[in-house]
Structure 1
Amino acid sequence: MEDVPTQLRKGALELAVLALLAQQPRYAVEIVDDLAQRPGLEASAGTIYPLLTRLKNSGLVNTRWHESPVGPPRKYYTLSTSGVHHFEVQRDAWLRLSTALITLLKEVQS
């Protein structure tokens, strides 16, 4: 059985990737690096690439190739129109849920 932090992180990872893409277009390795800077959201390329493929197949992200100044071209991911809407709905639901849960957990701590 997976540990609890891993299960919670998996549930939040899609929203985290959508949030990064809502900020600006990014390529996969950049997403991995950005998540690595946020304790608890670290994810390997082996996790991010399939997630990006699923988001693309669902029509939530678009891709485009962009020449790189160092090395081969990179595939950049951006939110599609439906991806922006999906992100906003997910973000709002997460904020409501997390606020309520934080309030409850603080009550238990007291």
Structure 2
Amino acid sequence: MKISTEMLKGVLEGIVLQIISEGETYGYEITKNLNDHGFEDVVEGTVYTILMRLEKHQLVTVEKKKSSLGPARKFYQLNDTGQQRLTLFWKHWTFLTAQMNHLKEDHHV
């Protein structure tokens, strides 16, 4: 299903935080994970922009590691601040989806 870019922008950072929370990972793996879970329109450039923002806001720990397939890769892990942001994201998501479902039920959509 094609999701509007604006709607996706609002949740993509939280989704990336969730993926990183599952274990150390790098940009291409995150993009592949998103694509494998139905977010086919998300490209590496979008993911790398989010990763740079997460790094800037100190929500992740970053470690460069050598790769046998080419240049060193940046691996990302969620730190405590990132975990707090992820927890807040899910609280907001739960509230928002509950309100949307109530609205949908009230209007018999």
* TM-score (normalizing by structure 2): 0.85
More strand by share: 2
Residues 40 and 26 of structure 1: is their aligned pair in 2 closer, same or farther, counting only changes over 3 Å? same
* Partner in structure 1 of residue 73 of structure 2: 74
SS at structure 2 position matched to 1:59: coil
Shift of 1:90: 1.2
Q: Does 1:38 align with 2:45?
A: no
Query: Can you list the C-alpha shifts for 1:39-67, whole angstroms capped at 9, x where unaligned?
Result: 24741111111110111010111101233
Q: How many residues are matched?
A: 108
Partners of 1:46 and 1:40 in 2: CA distance: 14
Could you say which residue in structure 1 is the equivalent of 2:48? 49
Instruction: Determine the structure 2 residue equivalent to 1:102.
Output: 101
- State the distance in 1 between where 2:40 and 2:9 align: 9
Instruction: Tell me by how many angstroms 1:8 deviates.
Output: 0.5
Which ranges of structure 2 fall in alignment gaps of 5 or more residues?
A: none
Specify the SS of the correspondent of 1:102.
helix
SS in 2 for 1:109: coil
Note if contact 1:13-1:41 (Cα within 8 Å) is conserved in structure 2: no
Contact 1:32–1:42 (Cα < 8 Å) also in 2: no
Identity of aligned residues (%): 28
Aligned to 2:62, the other structure's residue is in SS state strand
Unpaired runs of at least 5, structure 1: none
Report the CA distance shift for 1:103/1:39 in structure 2 as closer, same or farther (over 3 A): farther
Partner in structure 2 of residue 21 of structure 1: 20
